[in-house]
Each structure stands twice: as structure tokens, then as C-alpha cells.
Structure 1
Amino acid sequence: MTTSALLVMDVQKAITAHVSDRTYLPRLARAVGSAREAGIPVIHVVIGFRTGHPEAHARNKIFAAVPPTAFTEADPHAAIDQSVAPRPGEIVVTKKRVSAFTGSDLEVVLRSAGIEHLVLTGIATSGVVLSTLRQAADLDYQLTVLSDGCFDPDPEVHQVLVGKVFPRQAEVTTVDDWIAAAG
């Protein structure tokens, strides 16, 4: 039997503040709750930097534009959204780039726990989900993407990714279908 984990990625207050779909967080919270009930580990992945962002090169178009105090330990908006906040004992992985693997200890955590199957959720579909899926596929993980457990500010990009790109490397399903299959 393959050991699975649910990855909840970049669901931080500064990011969720820009989510236009008001049904997204409650739906994601249902997935998190169902994973917990089924004994599937929930791993939270966040973006985090030191003050001044010494990890972000000036050529990095995404992170060089972020204010120097954003996503630091002192930034209250860097916290994980309360609707999916980690419970005691749940792992929080801090990454330094778009992919959940880059600049983090995620692979060490997964390998140590014997995790072979990743269920991906997060914000944004065209950011952390896409980058993590590509890297995880190259690392030979079995992958599932919860299409409505992901959000992108561009609905058309989201649809192309979950409908055409992700199925090449992952099973794509909905939160409700995944919950039904896991239960």
C-alpha cells in the first residue's frame, strides 16, 4: 500500500486575502479535515524568508518584488490561514522558492515518513502547484491534484493546467471525489 500525504501549499493570510472564490477555503478545509479523519498526514508548505530576503536574488522576478519584511517570522500575514491551520504535530515546511521542494527539507520529511503519494492543493495553481507537481514527478512520486483544492487568480490558466497539463503526470480529481474515495 502506498503511503499518502496531503500537501496544503501557500495557504497563508497574505495570499488567501486575494482569493476571490469564497467557497475555496471551506472546501479546502473539508479536504484537510477528511485527511485527518482518514489518518492521512497533512503537511503544510509555506513561503518564508529571513528579514531583508537574503535568499531572493534581484533577478528573481517573483521574490525580488516582495517587500523585505513580507513572509518573515515577524510578518503576521505570513501565518497559515486559520481555516486550515496546522494541528499540534503536523509538519510545516518552509520553502524559499515557488516549488515546495526548493530550499526546504520537504523531500527529507517525505522519504523519512515513507510517503510515496502526494495529494496536492494550494495557491496558486500556476505557481506552487505546477512547480511542485513537476518536481515531484521527476522525483517519482505518485501524484493526485485536487482541482478545486487549488486556486489561481486566472481561471483560464487554472482550467488549462488541471484539464490538460496536470493529467499528464497526475490523477486529477475534486475534493468531494477524493473524500469519497478516501473514506
Structure 2
Amino acid sequence: MAPTILFIMDFQTPIREHAADVGWFDEAAKNAAVLLSAARALGPEKVKIIHAIAASGVDKTNTSLYSVSGESAIGKRFQAFPATLSDPKIVELVAPLPGEQILSRPRVSPFHYTDLNAQLRALGATKLVLCGVATSGIVLATFRSGVDADYDVVVVGEACADVDRVLHDSLVNQCFARLGRVVTVEKARQELSG
């Protein structure tokens, strides 16, 4: 049976340091940690954990497939981001254990410029569970990419945060709920176990 994929996304200290509401960031991280603990208890055969991070120094192969400009503003922001694959700066609460995948990305969506979709297809995965910051950044980009690739995409709204609560609520309650599914932490735990 194919594993469910649990994404723990951008819970990084440089992002926390610039959060408009650090308490909200921390609450989302605590909720993500609950799911991370449940996933670890179930094992990688049942739930594969992917820590997706913003990072500098990521190789962008096949730029012609994705970009009309070799040097975009968003690309420059990622290249200047103060984290790398060897020093991902993931907050301690959701820090990866040895053997858990860390996926660094040069764009907002972890599907962009990476082999993520090929990895997921090779596993036979069909369900993605998303936790992360910012709701309007990596969560939205991963959600859209996952939906476009026909995955069952589940957003754990309580394990996400943004710079703007109104924007977060709008995405969670309108966009994500209409095109995918939005669940509580408890419901997500049940689904991981199911």
C-alpha cells in the first residue's frame, strides 16, 4: 500500500524571525509537531515525511522548462535565503530526524525545479497532507501543484499560518476547502492512521 505524504513546510527560524505573529507561527508548528509525532510512530511505510524548506544554493536544472527569465526576483530571493540543505534552520519543534527527507527548493512550490512529482509517483502516493507557513506561500503553491497533478490534497488549517489572518482564512475556507480538503489536526491524525 502506498504511503500518505506528510509535508512539514518552511518552519524555519529565518521565517519565524520575520513572522508578523510569532505566537501564530509557534501554534502552527506545535500542531504540525503533533502530526509529525503521529507519522513517526506509524513508520515510513505508512507515512513518508518530507520537510520542504526555502534554501539558497539549490541547483536549477532544465530552467527552460520552467522560467522565461534566468534571473527572476523570486529566484534571487531564494538564492539569498539564509538556509541551505546542510543547515536548513528548521525550528526544533519539527526538526527532522535522521533518514527523514529534506527537500530544498529554488521556488515557492516544491514541485517546481525538483523531482518531487517523480518521487511521489514512484512511491505510488496519492494523498498529500500539508502543514506550513505561509498559507499564501508554500502551502498555496504546493496545494495548487498537487491538485493539478491529481493528488488528494489535504490541508491542516490549524498547522498553517500566514502574515495575514484574513488571507489565511480565505484560502483555507474558500480555496482549499473547495478544491481539496481542509481538516483539523485530530482528523488528520486519524487519516494518517487509517
How does the TM-score come out when normalised to structure 2? Answer: 0.80
Q: Is 1:20 aligned to 2:27, yes or no?
A: no
Residue 37 of structure 1 is matched in structure 2 by 41
Q: What corresponds to 2:103 in structure 1?
A: 93
Task: Pick from 134, 138, 147 the counterpart of residue 144 of structure 2.
Answer: 134
Pairwise CA RMSD of aligned residues? 2.5
| Percent identity of equivalent pairs | 33
Residue 16 of structure 1, CA deviation: 2.4
- Give 1:2 shift: 5.5
* Residue pairs, 1:57-68, within 5 angstroms: 58-60=71-73, 62-65=74-77, 68=80
Q: d(CA) in 1 for partners of 2:40 and 2:15?
A: 24
Aligned residue type for 2:162: D
- After TM superposition, which residue ranges in structure 1, 4 or more long, deviate above 4 angstroms? 55-58
For residue 66 of structure 1, report the CA deviation from its aligned partner: 6.3
Question: What is the Cα deviation at residue 111 of structure 1?
Answer: 1.6
After TM superposition, the structure 1 = structure 2 runs for residues 68-107 of structure 1, keeping only pairs within 5 Å, are 68=80, 70-72=82-84, 78-107=88-117
Instruction: Indicate if the aligned counterparts of 1:9 and 1:100 stay in contact, CA closer than 8 A.
Output: no
- After superposition, the C-alpha distances for 1:96-149 in whole angstroms (9 at most, x for unaligned) are 100111122211221222211100111100000101111111111111000111
- Corresponding pairs, count: 178
CA distance in 2, matches of 1:83, 1:99: 23
Q: Contact 2:50–2:101 at 8 Å: present in 1 too?
A: yes
Q: Which amino acid aligns with 1:168?
A: R
In the TM superposition, what is the alpha-carbon distance from 1:88 to its structure 2 partner? 1.4
**CA displacement, residues 50-106 of structure 1 (integer Å, 9 cap, x when unaligned):** 29xxx996542x4535683623458x5x42111111111111111110011112221
| Structure 2 alignment gaps of length 5 or more | 64-68
Partners of 2:79 and 2:129 in 1: CA distance: 31
Give the distance between the partners of 1:178 and 1:71, measured in 2 at CA: 29
Alignment partners' CA distance in 2, 1:119 and 1:3: 11
What CA distance in whole angstroms lies between the structure 1 residues aligned with 2:48 and 2:72? 36
Query: Any idea what SS the aligned residue of 1:64 has?
Result: helix
Is 1:112 equivalent to 2:122 in the alignment?
yes
Is the Cα–Cα contact under 8 Å of residues 57 and 64 in structure 1 kept in the other structure? Answer: no
Whole-Å separation in 1 of the counterparts to 2:70 and 2:78? 11
Output the TM-score relative to the length of structure 1: 0.85
> Is the Cα contact below 8 Å between 1:48 and 1:73 reproduced in 2?
yes
More helix by share: 2
> What code does the residue aligned with 1:110 have?
L
